[in-house]
Amino acid sequence: MIQITNQMRVLVAIEPVDGRKGMDSLAQLCQEKLAEDPFSGCVFVFRSRSGTAIRLLSYDGQGYWLAQKRLSTGRFVWWPGGEEAAKPLEAYEVQLLLAAGDASQIRAAPMWRRVNGPK
């Protein structure tokens, strides 16, 4: 099980991938296409070409986790776009994505940031 928390870095690949790719092929995509280290502990999210399935890949220090969700009907409605190869998402956006929701319609409070003390 991959549990996504607010402290985790999550990157979503913009371009869809072949749904038959396994852990090693997705890790190679992280390096070659996304220019990211697949051993970093980041959660990488990939969408199938048909838009009916998504896969999450993460390394936990001992090995890779690969999770997949395939919708029984319909497609994932929202997917981030852009010119870059990957887009970072907040935890709540990934939760909405996994529920086949539209994260572009929801805005959460900004993440907490440390405030410098008095000078």
Per-residue pLDDT of the chain (119 residues), as tens digits, is 678 888 889 999 999 999 899 999 999 999 999 999 999 999 999 999 999 999 999 999 999 999 999 999 988 888 888 889 999 988 888 888 888 777 666 666 666 666 676 65
Q: How far apart are CA 33 and CA 89, in angstroms?
A: 18
Per-residue pLDDT, 115: 66
